Structure 1
Amino acid sequence: MIKKVCVYCSSSSKLNPVYYKAAERMGELFAEADMHLVFGGGKSGLMGTIADSLLQQGGKATGIIPGFMCDEGWQHKGLTDLKVVDTMHQRKAMMAEMADAAVALPGGIGTFDELFEIITWKQLGLFAKPVVILNTNNYFHHFIELLHVAASENFLRDEHRQIWKVVNTPEEVIPAIKNAVEWPDDARSFAAV
């Protein structure tokens, strides 16, 4: 049963409104489904938007943030729980450890890093849970194309294309999580290409 969803997304406050609208809707949908948000703990950008939306609907949100970001005042102060860690590595590991699924909304280098890492962990059998990419405004088009090129050039197995599911609207995210292909326990046995 999916209860906690890790979300990777942007902390930028200068985005096209279409991205904020999708993040706001995602927060509403998670709250309606009684899904607990686990995210990077930021107060701005899509991070703040999804958290605020979910919390306004009575949902629960746990932020995980390195102390140096708190020193900068970047943390969201209205969360159900805020966990302060020492490093970015600890942050990512704790987010994955707490989650029953991972969802990527649009973001920058940090989001790409988190998404690539969770895909790698799934490939290696370290994270066997659903991974969903919300392709708002076709934002992840080139990212997805890169993954397909990697598979077509034999840097990934064809089976590895099932690691992630791409959807275009917030309404498709929860069904994609619930209907994700079950990842095999022996994923490591075919991790090598």
Structure 2
Amino acid sequence: MDMDNFREMFLTEAAEHLQLMVDLLVQLDSDPQDQDGIDALFRGAHSIKGMAASMEYPETARLAHHLEDHLADCRQLGQISGVEIDWLLEAVDLLELLLGDIRNGRPERNVDSFIAGISKQPEAAVDCVAETKTVELTACGRGQLIQLQLQESVAIPGPRFLVLLKKLADLGTILESTPSTEDLLQGDAPNQLLVRL
């Protein structure tokens, strides 16, 4: 088997692990003490690290290794915070971009700045949001219309919006959203979200 075949196998398996990790992070946002979910996240990061190291993709392996270390701490604590979930989703986005580099034959992007920020957890839960607009709905009904636009670097927008919808639901009643939660759960991947509270 030549290296192209090995590369394709790596890309396929790594993408499957990343999708599973995204699904687990969305579930953990609702149940942050789900030990099985945290364990499965750890195994996903460990698998990606091992595969990337064996294929000599150092930046991917290094980022996955730092995720693995962070998740090992979460395993010991027995829970994962909402801020950590947001940070881990950013890490998964970056891993997706690294896979894109590999898939397109480009050198892997450097992950130094991201890894340097690991010790400093993000203070805001919506660092990935590039733009937010709020409009009072007086003429056409009650509530506020909120438009959320993600940064272009977010590789997997659907799960990000699911997490943001949950955070907005903690602030008030969501009257409607476009796309809906159901559409997002089915894989809809928009770059903006409209929510009426």
TM-score, with structure 2 as normaliser: 0.30
Greater Rg over alpha carbons, structure: 2
Higher helix share: 2
Higher strand share: 1
TM-score, with structure 1 as normaliser: 0.31
